[in-house]
Amino acid sequence: MTISIHVDQIEVPLKTGIDIRNITDRLSRIVSESNITEGHLSATVVGSTGSITTIEYEPGVVSDLKRAINELAPPDREYAHEEAWHDGNGHSHVQAALLGPSISVPVRKGRMRLGAWQQVVLINHDNRSRKRTVEVTVIGAG
């Protein structure tokens, strides 16, 4: 088997946080274009107030996850980040750091291998709308 690599990026306009967006279809398209059949995909959000994970993307879970994230670092507390920067997004930085910026998704038979009810989501934690870049690296045989 010859191993190859395919790099790409997607840009996703996100609303004021917490905004949770399903990016599965866009990642799937990159896997198709890569012609890689067996390997894995790494996706990493560029910027320190975004994160990536997987969920069952339905309105209930989206709402429940927002509540939980806002309890990890509530927007209405005081943050030391504000003392220097006064941009009101101290909670955004903490939330994003706890969730983490990257994920690895298996590629099998030329497609991402996820559960039937499992989607990859990009989260904007920032207190303003942001266009987020996700860097995507697919490595494997094909």
Q: Using the rule CB under 8 A, is 118 a contact of a second copy?
A: yes
Choosing from 44, 75, 110, 128, the residue that interacts with a second copy (CB under 8 A) is: 44
Q: Using the rule CB under 8 A, is 46 a contact of a second copy?
A: yes
Shortest distance, CB of residue 6 to a second copy, whole angstroms? 9
Choosing from 19, 93, 124, 125, the residue that interacts with a second copy (CB under 8 A) is: 93
Please give the Cα distance from 94 to 73 (Å, whole number).
6
Write the CB contacts of 32 (distance below 8 Å, at least 6 apart in sequence): 110, 111
Residues in binding contact with a second copy, number by CB under 8 A = 64
Please give the Cα distance from 119 to 139 (Å, whole number).
20
Q: Using the rule CB under 8 A, is 22 a contact of a second copy?
A: no
Q: Using the rule CB under 8 A, is 79 a contact of a second copy?
A: yes
Q: Say which residue the tokens 């030391």 belong to.
A: 80
Nearer of residues 31 and 73 to a second copy, judged by Cβ: 73
39 within 8 A of 140, measured Cβ to Cβ? yes
Tell me, what amino acid is at 95? Q
Shortest distance, CB of residue 31 to a second copy, whole angstroms? 13
Write the CB contacts of 141 (distance below 8 Å, at least 6 apart in sequence): 1, 2, 3, 4, 36, 37, 38, 39
For 15-59, list the strands marked E by DSSP.
Answer: 19-22, 38-45, 50-55
Shortest distance, CB of residue 36 to a second copy, whole angstroms? 10
Q: Which residues bind a second copy (CB under 8 A)?
A: 1, 3-5, 7, 38-40, 42, 44, 46-48, 53-56, 58-61, 63-65, 68-69, 72-73, 79-85, 90, 93-94, 96-108, 113-115, 117-119, 121, 135-137, 139-141
